[in-house]
Amino acid sequence: MYRFFETIRIEEGKAWNLSRHEARMNRTRREVFAESEPLALGPWIGELPEEGLYRCRVVYDRELRSMELISYLPRRIESFRLVESTLEYPYKSCDRSGIDRLFAARGSADEILIVRPDGRLKDTSIANVALKLDGVWWTPTKPLLPGTMRETLLDAGKLKERELHVGDLNALESFGVMNAMIGFYEIRNPRFRLR
């Protein structure tokens, strides 16, 4: 049985971006299982800690299956190994074995940056990416997985979409990674390694 998950930022008793997580979960359930009755995450998650930062991991298939809260401390990301792959990951699946294999190739880098054989940029193993070019933040038109933070920033007009290529890394003013837990994290002097 296929299982999927949502990772929700819990901070000071608040679940961030809950409606976008619910929308993605219910879209996945519709497309994978043909489930049309939407599920609500709020009642499932229940009472939240009033202090601190937590990662809430909700696992589901046709139904909600489990929820765990884990205290969260972001890891520092400054260096990236470019990893070529044709991997597809259209849903936030619990089976991350393909991504884990790519991540294992990072060597001494903090993270990977997935690149298609034609040079198009995708995502890191845990986050969508953005490049600041000529004062504008751009994110790939077709990421590996469209994230909820990415969607929020696009809707707010803080990001624009376009195809990004490896060559764009030479012209970037700044580099950003984003996901539900870290929000948008700007890296002013990222280091990229091809091998």
Name the more confident of 1 and 125. Answer: 125
Gap between the Cα atoms of 60 and 180, Å rounded:
18
Examine the domain organization and report whether 157 and 85 are in the same domain: yes
pLDDT per position as a tens digit, 77-92? 999 999 999 999 999 9
Q: Model pTM? A: 0.94
Residues 94 and 124 in one domain: yes
What is the Cα Rg of the chain in Å? 17
Q: Mark which of 52, 71, 90 sits at the end of a domain.
A: 71
The tens digit of pLDDT for each residue in 33-66 reads 999 999 999 998 888 999 999 999 999 999 999 9
Domain span including residue 127: 79-193
Domain-ending residue, one of 27, 47, 71 = 71
Using the predicted structure, report yes or no on whether residue 12 has a pLDDT greater than 70. yes
Whether residues 93 and 141 fall in one domain: yes
| Domain shared by 177 and 83, yes or no | yes
Report the chain's terminal Cα–Cα distance, integer Å.
37
